[in-house]
Amino acid sequence: MRDIAVIGTYKNERLFITKVKDYFQLIKPSLSIMVVFSSVISYLLAPKVVAFDWRMITLLFVAGLLVTGSANAINQVVEKDTDAVMKRTANRPVAAGRMTVAQGWTFSVITGTSGIFMLGNYFNWLSAGIALFSLFLYAFIYTPLKKVSSMSVIVGAVPGALPCLIGWAAGNDTLSTGCWLLFLLQFMWQFPHFWAIAWIAHNDYTRAGFKLLPSELGPTKYTAIQTIIYSLLLIPIGVIPYFVGMSGMVSLVIVALANIFMVWKCVQLYINMDVSSARRVMFSSYIYLPIVLLSLLADKL
């Protein structure tokens, strides 16, 4: 009898661990952390934030993680059928049937409400309102639009850049020039970043009915040229913070080098026209954003 009890306890522990992992997967942790990172850096760049307050930084991080996690969970609930037919998403908890739609929605409501309340209560309701708008735009406009038109990428880039406004508003109680520059930077950055991902996963996305690349023909020269154009647009945008007194010479040089690096990787994609080059653009974009944001922050310290 004791052995049976031990086995039962072991099974319950395994079940609990699996369930925790599923909820963790529901928030898409790597994506959520990257999004919240830009929000925290924007908060620290806000003029009224003059010192590192780890309590407030932690609160902002947790609140942002809850709101972003809610949006990602809704995305997985809404796209459960399409996730099930794509290799890279088939094991997501709702798509795989380990979690019900009702459980996914319940989790989304609790996390989203909690995160927005934290922003309003500990910071201000401006940041909370922007977060609510971002959640709505991502979950209920961008998500269904992905099957309608490639214009969805432009729509999706808005909530993708709104964390900059959320963080700045949380620290500054208002929106000003600096946050719009950060928004514009992150908005433009998303196009080469996301099109590289869409290039790599084109077959999966096509099978699911998503229209994400700018060309209806898929990974073409036109798509590669678009990545070059948007990476080139990052060059003048990256210079503006220096001329408005938001950054110094060190940051200007770092941002310029990062921008040239991104352009070169996109040019290589145009030359080679292969998945390996698209993967290099994707990984370069992952490196680009934290380097640029941290260089701006370093100039403030």
Q: How far is CA 260 from the centre of its chain?
A: 23
The reply to whether 61 falls in a domain is yes
The reply to whether 108 falls in a domain is yes
The domain tally of the chain equals 2
Based on the domain organization, do 211 and 158 belong to the same domain?
A: no
Cβ neighbors of 177 (< 8 A, separation 6 or more) are: 244, 246
Q: How far apart are CA 232 and CA 258, in angstroms?
A: 11
Neighbour count for residue 14 (Cβ, 10 Å): 10
Among candidate residues 174, 199, 234, the one where a domain is terminated? 174
Per the CB < 8 A criterion, the answer to whether 168 and 46 are in contact is yes
Q: List alpha helices for 46-124, DSSP H.
A: 54-78, 80-84, 93-96, 101-122
Residue 22 is predicted with a pLDDT of 83
Based on the domain organization, do 29 and 62 belong to the same domain?
A: yes
Residue 20 is predicted with a pLDDT of 81
Residue 181 is predicted with a pLDDT of 96
The reply to whether 4 falls in a domain is no
Q: How far apart are CA 65 and CA 155, in angstroms?
A: 21
Structure tokens at 52: 């590192």
Based on the domain organization, do 182 and 131 belong to the same domain?
A: no
Nearest to 95 by CA among 71, 65, 75, 70: 75
Based on the domain organization, do 35 and 156 belong to the same domain?
A: yes
Based on the domain organization, do 235 and 120 belong to the same domain?
A: no
Q: How far apart are CA 31 and CA 11, in angstroms?
A: 31
What are the b/e assignments for 117-138, b being 16+ CB within 10 Å?
ebbbebbbebbbebbbebbebb
Structure tokens at 260: 């040239």
Based on the domain organization, do 131 and 67 belong to the same domain?
A: yes
- Give, rounded to a whole angstrom, the gap between the first and last alpha carbons of the chain: 64
Among candidate residues 147, 174, 201, the one where a domain is terminated? 174
Per the CB < 8 A criterion, the answer to whether 207 and 89 are in contact is no
Based on the domain organization, do 232 and 274 belong to the same domain?
A: yes
Based on the domain organization, do 147 and 186 belong to the same domain?
A: no
The reply to whether 6 falls in a domain is no
* Residues of the chain predicted below pLDDT 50: 5-6, 8, 10
Based on the domain organization, do 170 and 211 belong to the same domain?
A: no
Q: How far apart are CA 261 and CA 247, in angstroms?
A: 20
Task: Tell me the C-alpha to C-alpha distance, in Å, between residue 109 and each of 41, 68, 113, 154, 159.
Answer: 26, 12, 6, 26, 18
Neighbour count for residue 31 (Cβ, 10 Å): 15
- Domain extent, residue 289, equals 176-301
The DSSP H or E segment spanning 240 is helix 221-243
Residue 6 is predicted with a pLDDT of 45
Which CATH number covers residue 215? 1.20.120
The reply to whether 2 falls in a domain is no
The reply to whether 3 falls in a domain is no
Which CATH number covers residue 19? 1.10.357.140
Rg, the chain, Cα only: 21
Among candidate residues 157, 174, 191, the one where a domain is terminated? 174
Structure tokens at 181: 């520059």
